[in-house]
Amino acid sequence: MRHWKRITFVILGSGFLFCSIAAGVNFLVDPLWSFDHEVPIGRYQPMFDERQQKTNWVAFRKVEYDTIILGNSRVTYLDTRVVPGKAFNYSASSMKPVEYLPYMKFVSSRSSMPIKTVVLGMSFADTNGSNAPSFEKPETYISRTRSFGYRLKPLFNSNILRYSLGCIRRDIHGNVHNAYIRQGREVVSKQMVLPVPESELQKESADNLETYRKNVYGRSYTYQDNKEIYRALRTAFPDVKFYIFTTPVTDHLLKLLVEEGRLNDYERWITDLVDVFGEVWHFMYFNSVTGNDENFKDAHHYSPRIAEVIVRKLFGLETEKNYDDFGMKISAESL
């Protein structure tokens, strides 16, 4: 009998020890951004669940923002520190315009400051009505933060532990590529190390082009009119200044758009944006930036440096001369 008691105690003790270690590591690294403390280790955190992470960030700390940034994965590389005001970048992989309003309302309800500015990075790919949203609705992520014990349960999750350990390895090796950096009690936008190896760039670009040919610009394409979605944003936030920009892609992807016969749809998309918002900063056309692959990690994700140039153009700040042909402000008069 004593033998079995000893085995039971050993099993229970081992389980308790493992759970304690897992909870401790997961709490320190805080991969789901659920706690308001300085992360001492595991500060380099690659994409895990951006929508939930960023919703947790807003839900579980006192926030003070007057600017919201929204867009897809291309916009995640925009560093909020280069944006005038106090900005929060809510962008996430494959985020679509239909998701913007709930997240805007959520930040507005949580922030101690009124929202004065909204920056929206628009992608032509979002006009393909045949591509259904691949993520849960914003309300699902928001309501999850209000469920009982939500912050504590992931601390004992072994999958979260593996992710936390991966963040620690990244931190030790200084690998910031495609990772968010936790700095002090803040988080800065996703990083990108360029140039990527030529073989990797060619492979990623080729994969992107094939995906866009089949699923985005190809035969299944049907134009989705998003004007009502755009109008709903302006109606819900009538006093907000909207800065709208089109996200640049490489010349390779621009040529594919033309080859697949989407030029008329592309023109309609820009016209729709101008009709609703009055003016748009347009970067998705052939220019010195889109023609230089060194500004990208693949066929459509541009560097944080280019993201900073875009911000400076939006807010009327000075940029270097070599970016003079990058970006045009389009209004109803110049359309």
- Taken as a whole, the chain contains a residue count of 335
Q: Could you tell me the two tokens for 78?
A: 């925009």
Asked if 88 and 138 count as a contact pair (C-beta separation under 8 A), the reply is no
Q: What is the DSSP letter of 296?
A: B
Q: Are 240 and 117 in contact (CB under 8 A)?
A: yes
Using CA atoms in the order 108, 110, 112, 114, what is the torsion angle rounded to 10 degrees?
0
Check: CB of residue 58 under 8 Å from CB of residue 88: yes
Predicted TM-score (pTM) of this structure? 0.93
Q: Are 211 and 304 in contact (CB under 8 A)?
A: no
CA distance 280 to 328: 8
Please, what is the end-to-end C-alpha distance for the chain in angstroms?
86
**Could you tell me how many helices (H) and strands (E) the chain has, helices first?**
10, 9
Tell me the pairing of strands 241-246 and 117-122: parallel
Per-position pLDDT tens, the chain of length 335: 555 555 544 444 444 445 668 899 999 999 999 999 999 999 999 988 999 999 999 999 999 999 999 999 999 999 999 999 999 999 999 999 999 999 999 999 999 999 999 999 999 999 999 987 789 999 999 999 999 999 999 999 999 999 999 999 999 999 999 999 998 888 877 999 999 999 999 999 999 999 999 999 999 999 999 999 999 999 999 999 999 999 999 999 999 999 999 999 999 999 999 999 999 999 999 999 999 999 999 999 999 999 999 999 999 999 999 999 999 999 999 98
